[in-house]
């Protein structure tokens, strides 16, 4: 459906005959637009006046029939499109309004001698299709610009974060090293003392508690080290369901003590991926322990494994406290925690590991309550 010189000539002669109905069309066009409250707000909030727009629509109709259909024509159309975008006129209002023009034009074609109608209809359809596609293009351009801008901002944000983290990381790593060795020494000494005591001794239980606290401190220091000094993964082909089963063992005892339900829904067939076993187990442990922390007495944790073509999807769902908006936006941030005894490093480590495996990890809210953590990894055969 090429737009030809014959179409251009036809439009010119049609223009001469349709010109008397332009004012009517202009009025109807804006009446229709301001039926929408949003468009009304956009067009009457001071910076764009409807009267001015009426004049420009009139000009637009003139040139629709007057040509010349060349580059300046295209540019002037695109400029109008960009103006719509600038005032944030929703795209479907623009499309509806363009349709009003189309319908009215075609109505008027019916009043022409029947021998002329078919060609006239076709020429009008063609030029309006061209105009519509120019308008849609400006919207598309705008969306792409926005995406690019968002991408750039994200990139800069990451850069700032990574510089920031490199500093924190160095500090954390040296601190963790300083703490780790004396901690091992203290723990060893306390164990020796405790073993030398009668179990009835008044301090026997005190020492047991001290040792538990040291274990916790040791876990936190380990997290800090993993976070500050990430190791590149050593990837080997692993059965992901076996890995998941092993990770679930870690929390099985606590779930049974607390009477929580723990379920697994497996893929129809075993799925394999090239992963660092230790690192991936740490990811699953972090996510499962978070689910455990979130659950109340009627808690339920479901681990689901599925595959879709080349992708493995691992989900850990809980029906626990869920996250509000701020928490879900910040959950992967290092050192962000809502727990009195949290390090805030669990999910940050998860993300780092999963991304080092070229995978993705994200959080979805569940209704009526709870959280779903989703991990996607590339599958191998």
How big is the site for ligand ADP, counted in residues (CB under 6 A)? 23
Cβ(325)–Cβ(313) below 8 Å: no
β-pair type (300-308, 360-365): unpaired
- Contacts of residue 78, defined as CB under 8 A and 6 or more positions apart, other chains included, come to 134, 137, 138
Instruction: Rule CB under 6 A: say whether 91 interacts with ligand ADP.
Output: no
Cβ(284)–Cβ(290) below 8 Å: no
d(CA 172, CA 230): 12
Structure letter (DSSP) for residue 380: B
Q: Which of 131, 276, 307, 318 binds ligand ADP (CB under 6 A)?
A: 318
Closest distance of CB 316 from ligand ADP, Å: 8
Q: Which stretch binds ligand ADP (CB under 6 A): 20-28, 40-48, 244-252, 339-347?
A: 339-347
**Which tokens sit at 144?**
């792409």
H-helix or E-strand spanning residue 363: strand 360-365
Instruction: Rule CB under 6 A: say whether 331 interacts with ligand ADP.
Output: yes
Instruction: Rule CB under 6 A: say whether 336 interacts with ligand ADP.
Output: yes
Q: Which of 138, 247, 281, 371 binds ligand ADP (CB under 6 A)?
A: 371
Instruction: Rule CB under 6 A: say whether 366 interacts with ligand ADP.
Output: no
Task: Give 260 or 271: the residue with its C-beta nearer to ligand ADP.
Answer: 260
- 304 has which bridge partners? 265, 315
Cβ(302)–Cβ(354) below 8 Å: no
Q: Tell me how far CA of residue 216 lies from CA of 6, 102, 236, 371, in angstroms.
A: 84, 72, 30, 25
Instruction: Rule CB under 6 A: say whether 224 interacts with ligand ADP.
Output: no
Nearest to 363 by CA among 354, 373, 377, 350: 373
Cβ(226)–Cβ(353) below 8 Å: no
Q: Which of 260, 294, 305, 353 binds ligand ADP (CB under 6 A)?
A: 294
Closest distance of CB 275 from ligand ADP, Å: 20
Task: Give 238 or 319: the residue with its C-beta nearer to Mg ion.
Answer: 319
Select from Mg ion, ligand ADP, none the partner in contact with residue 281, using the beta carbon and a kind-dependent cut-off of 5 to 8 Å.
none
Closest distance of CB 2 from ligand ADP, Å: 59
Instruction: Rule CB under 6 A: say whether 281 interacts with ligand ADP.
Output: no
Binding residues for ligand ADP (CB under 6 A):
286, 290-291, 294, 318, 320-323, 327, 331, 336-339, 342-348, 371
């Amino acid at each position: 459906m090429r737009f030809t010189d014959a179409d251009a000539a036809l439009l010119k002669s049609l223009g001469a005959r349709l010109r008397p109905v332009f004012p009517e069309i202009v009025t109807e066009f804006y009446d229709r637009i301001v039926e929408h409250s949003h468009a009304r707000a956009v067009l009457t909030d001071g910076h764009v006046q409807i009267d001015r727009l009426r004049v420009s629509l009139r000009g637009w109709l003139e040139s629709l029939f007057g040509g010349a259909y060349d580059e300046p024509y295209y540019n002037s159309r695109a400029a109008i499109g960009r103006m719509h975008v600038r005032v944030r006129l929703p795209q479907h209002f623009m499309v509806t309004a363009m349709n009003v023009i189309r319908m009215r034009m075609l109505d008027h074609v019916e009043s022409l001698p029947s021998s002329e109608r078919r060609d006239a209809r076709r020429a009008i359809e063609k030029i309006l299709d061209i105009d519509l596609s120019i308008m849609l293009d400006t919207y598309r351009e705008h969306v792409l610009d926005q995406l690019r801008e968002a991408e750039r901002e994200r990139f800069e944000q990451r850069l700032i974060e990574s510089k920031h983290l490199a500093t924190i990381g160095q500090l954390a790593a040296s601190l963790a090293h300083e703490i780790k060795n004396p901690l091992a020494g203290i723990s060893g000494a306390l164990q020796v003392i405790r073993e030398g005591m009668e179990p009835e001794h008044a301090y026997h239980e005190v020492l047991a508690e001290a040792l538990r606290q040291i274990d916790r401190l040791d876990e936190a220091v380990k997290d800090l080290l993993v976070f500050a000094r990430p190791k590149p993964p050593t990837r080997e082909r692993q059965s992901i369901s076996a890995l998941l089963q092993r990770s679930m063992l870690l929390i099985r005892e606590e779930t049974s003590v607390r009477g929580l339900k723990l379920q697994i829904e497996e893929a129809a067939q075993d799925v394999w991926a090239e992963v660092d076993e230790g690192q991936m187990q740490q990811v699953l442990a972090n996510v499962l322990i978070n689910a455990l922390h979130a659950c109340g007495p009627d808690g339920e944790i479901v681990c689901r494994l599925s595959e879709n073509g080349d992708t493995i999807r691992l989900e850990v769902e809980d029906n626990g406290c869920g996250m509000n908006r701020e928490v879900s936006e910040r959950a992967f941030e290092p050192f962000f925690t809502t727990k009195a005894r949290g390090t805030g490093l669990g999910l940050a480590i998860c993300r780092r590991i999963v991304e080092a495996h070229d995978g993705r990890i994200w959080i979805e809210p569940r209704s009526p309550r709870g959280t779903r953590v989703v991990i996607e990894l590339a599958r191998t055969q």
